[in-house]
Amino acid sequence: MPRARKTDSTAKRKRAPRKAAAASRGIAPEDCRLAAGSAEIAAVRRRIEEEGGAVLGAYRDPLGGNPLVLASLPIDKVEPTPFQRDLSEAHHKKLAGVIDRTGIFLDPVIAITGPDGGFWTPNGRHRLAAMQRLGARAITALVVPKREIAWQILALNTEKAHNLRERSLEVIRIYRGLLDEDGARPEKSFAFYLEEAALVTLGLCYEKKGNFAGGAYAPILRRLESLTDEPLRKAMVAHEKRAEMVFALEERVGEVVSKLRARGLVSPYLRTFVVARINPLRWIKGGPPTLEEVLKTMRERAAKFNTDRIKQEDLATAGGVPDDEG
């Protein structure tokens, strides 16, 4: 049976940096000054003016010294990146009400230049929608010349996502955006943005079925999948193949779960119980087989699963993610 590569560090949670000595990093306040006519921001300045916006000022960020431009942009020239989480109707309406009552917009959105004109905001979707709801003509934005900042911001948003489903959907949206941006680069070079390979495969599953029971399969994918040195476009094909295999397995597992319920067995962890019973990794010593081989074996075992031998007391020790949670 072929053996899988050892998983890399992308599956590990990012550790918070150690606390640095006070005032030991960055640049001094006077060094943050940057003339609006500086050559470093000339291209961004031209783009802003060509789109009908106005440059209000420029400065260097105090930590990395990166040039940033404060601008007022025509609101119809700004749109959210197409690969971030969906707009919350309740949140943006509430935000619009607050801005309307105060009569002042204080929190500029972050913006980058769009690939086909205009601007993208990777973290200002609700503020933008709130201002659009209020009929605003312009919106204040902090325009970042480095386009890759969009992926970094979205990666941070992924870590804040509430559950596996949200995180997976954000990662697959980022992945599709990266494909459009530079699909020839190695997948592993985007590890910071993608976090772990399992989220890409699960994202494809959630796109196909919103209530997919991803939590039951996530531990297996995390153990056996890793980001590769293959170009993004080629790596995406592999993720799509694995997602189809996971779906084929889920069909068989779903049939077993239905049979157990028909027999009157009750547990919020029925699916997790079945997946654990057919998972061969529990008995394998040494290096595990490939993910494809494991999924194939699990599907075969699910097809032969004898539900008549399962008793209610067998489910007492079942745990993990409830069947109704992704």
Give the lowest-confidence range in 2-6, 76-80, 130-134, 276-280: 2-6
In which domain, by residue range, is 236 found?
A: 163-315
Residue 297 lies in a domain: yes
pLDDT band at 17 (very low <50, low <70, confident <90, very high): confident
Specify the pLDDT at position 241: 98
- Judge if 173 and 259 occupy the same domain: yes
Pair 218, 269 in one domain: yes
Does 119 map to a domain? yes
In a domain, 206, yes or no: yes
Whole-structure pTM over 0.75, yes or no?
Answer: no
For the chain, the average pLDDT equals 89
Instruction: Say yes or no: 105 and 199 in one domain.
Output: no
Residues 142 and 168 in one domain: no
Q: What is the DSSP string of 122-155?
A: SS-HHHHHHHHHTT-SEEEEEE-S-TTHHHHHHH
pLDDT in tens, 167-225: 899 899 889 988 988 889 999 999 888 889 999 999 999 999 999 999 999 999 999 99
Query: Which of 147, 177, 205 is the endpoint of a domain?
Result: 147
The model's confidence at residue 324, banded by pLDDT at 50, 70 and 90, is low
Which tens digits make up the pLDDT trace of 251-296? 999 999 999 999 999 888 899 999 999 999 988 877 889 999 999 9
Pair 169, 120 in one domain: no
pLDDT in tens, 125-153: 999 999 999 999 999 999 999 888 877 77
pLDDT value of position 196: 94
Based on the fold, state whether residues 232 and 289 are members of the same structural domain. Answer: yes
40 and 80 together in one domain: yes
Report DSSP state, residue 227. Answer: -
In a domain? residue 325: no
Q: Same domain, yes or no, for 44 and 135?
A: yes
| One domain for residues 112 and 225 | no
Same domain, residue pair 296 and 185: yes
Q: Binning pLDDT at 50, 70 and 90, where does residue 1 land?
A: very low
Evaluate whether residue 240 is within a structural domain.
yes
Residue 153 within any structural domain of the chain: no
- Using alpha carbons, select from 66, 67, 60 the residue that is nearest to residue 44: 67
User: Tell me, what's the pLDDT at 161?
Assistant: 57
Long-range CB pairs of 203-207 (<8 Å, 24+ gap) are 203/168, 203/169, 203/170, 203/171, 203/172, 203/173, 203/175, 204/172, 204/239, 204/240, 204/243, 205/168, 205/243, 205/246, 205/247, 206/165, 206/168, 206/169, 206/172, 206/326, 207/169, 207/172
| 86 HSE (CA, 13 A, CB side) | 7
Same domain, 51 and 176: no
CB 96 within 8 A of CB 134: yes
Pairing of strands 138-143, 109-113: parallel
Per-residue pLDDT tens for 28-37?
999 999 998 8
Number of domains in the chain: 2
Residue with tokens 């943006």: 92
Tell me which of 147, 173, 200 is where a domain ends: 147
* CATH code for the domain in which residue 88 is found: 3.90.1530.10
Residue 10 lies in a domain: no
Please tell me whether residues 127 and 249 are part of one structural domain: no
In a domain, 16, yes or no: no
CA 281/CA 24 separation, integer angstroms: 48
